[in-house]
Structure 1
Amino acid sequence: MNVRKANPNDAKSIAKVQVDSWKTTYKNIVPDEFLDRMSYVSREQKWKDKIPKQAVFVVETDEGEVVGFANGGKERTGNYPAYQGELYAIYILADYQRNGIGKLFIKQIIEELKRKDIYSMTVAVLKDNSSRKFYQSLGAKKIDTTELEISGEKLKEIIYGWEDIRTTF
């Protein structure tokens, strides 16, 4: 497995990982109609736009297949002034989960944030997503609960934070 910074040519692979991961991770959490509407084409265009503007990393197999991605940067909501950075997303195809890739991604995002003199970070996780335990195991503390709406359904989201990412690993 190789973790590297993404480039615009990775947009198609990242889109595939995102759509496929959502359909496995969020089945029975997010409304099926939303998951059914997700498309590789629309996600690919979004990633072509995001990659040049954000810290985006991919992990690929020895054969060069992208099987996961992560991105992060400045905290986007402004609701948590004590936290300057944000882990926007980590998605890994189901067959490659629980192999240490998530930790590799968090290390990459933390290093990127530290290069920008950002030393604290949040992440938002759907309450029913079992990955919450992963963030808790890395020392993230619950700092808020919010609600978001997807396809007319209200879902709880937990906001976790690390006050000092320099001590996370």
Structure 2
Amino acid sequence: MAVSIRTMQEADIADVRRVARTTWHATYAGVIPEPVRTRFLDAFYSDEALKRRMGGSLLLVAESERGIVGFANFFESRRDPEEAELGAIYIMPDAQRTGVGSMLLAEGIGRLAGTKRLFVNVERSNRNGRAFYDARKFRIVGETQELFYGHALTTVKMRLDLACRDAE
């Protein structure tokens, strides 16, 4: 599958929302109740929310001949210019394990000039997500219990040291 990575445009909002809904329901069925997933998706993937994120963060899409098959959202830290967060990286289930996630991650890292540490939070039971980050040398740096729209979750915080990658 030939894929190109580019900056998200306003015309991509419906496709990004489709990717988010499809992947969230596939990933978290049996972990997060459906009403909780839907409330989150409605809030964070509305037109208004996505437009705000486009203006205040780096949103990349992965596009193939089938259309948008994934996206990633990176946020630069407001308190430390050497840190950034990967807020989301979602790949359609039938496009997972094809290199799309790696392409999005690499492009995002390449665009985060001066970033030395990249953080990501992942739900502890999300085995596929954790395996993705483990394979790319992210390390666990903490774990948090939180209420997510009233549902208890355990979130693992992971860090990738980019300065070490530059030295390799």
TM-score (norm 2): 0.86
1:58 aligns with 2:61: yes
Shift in CA distance, 144/17, structure 1 to aligned 2, threshold 3 Å: same
1:104-144 per-residue CA deviation (whole Å, 9 max, x = no partner) reads 0110111111x2x1121110000010110110111111000
Shift in CA distance, 155/87, structure 1 to aligned 2, threshold 3 Å: same
Alignment correspondent of 2:138: 140
Mean Cα deviation higher: 102-111 or 34-43:
34-43
1:32-73 per-residue CA deviation (whole Å, 9 max, x = no partner) reads 22124444995233112211221110011124x111100102
1:10-159 equivalence runs, <5 A = 10-37=12-39, 38-39=41-42, 43-63=46-66, 65-75=67-77, 84-113=83-112, 115=113, 117-130=114-127, 131-159=129-157
Deviation of the 1:10 alpha carbon: 1.2
Over the aligned positions, Cα root-mean-square deviation in angstroms equals 2.4
Deviation of the 1:148 alpha carbon: 2.1
1:138-169 per-residue CA deviation (whole Å, 9 max, x = no partner) reads 11110000122123221000000012256178
Using the aligned pairs only, state the percent identity: 24
C-alpha separation in 2, matches of 1:150 and 1:95: 27
Q: Secondary structure at the match of 2:29?
A: coil
C-alpha separation in 2, matches of 1:41 and 1:160: 22
C-alpha separation in 2, matches of 1:152 and 1:107: 34
C-alpha separation in 2, matches of 1:151 and 1:73: 22
C-alpha separation in 2, matches of 1:60 and 1:165: 29
C-alpha separation in 1, matches of 2:159 and 2:53: 23
Residue identity matched to 1:123: V
C-alpha separation in 1, matches of 2:102 and 2:45: 28
User: Structure 2, unaligned stretches of length 5 or more?
Assistant: none
User: Structure 1, unaligned stretches of length 5 or more?
Assistant: none
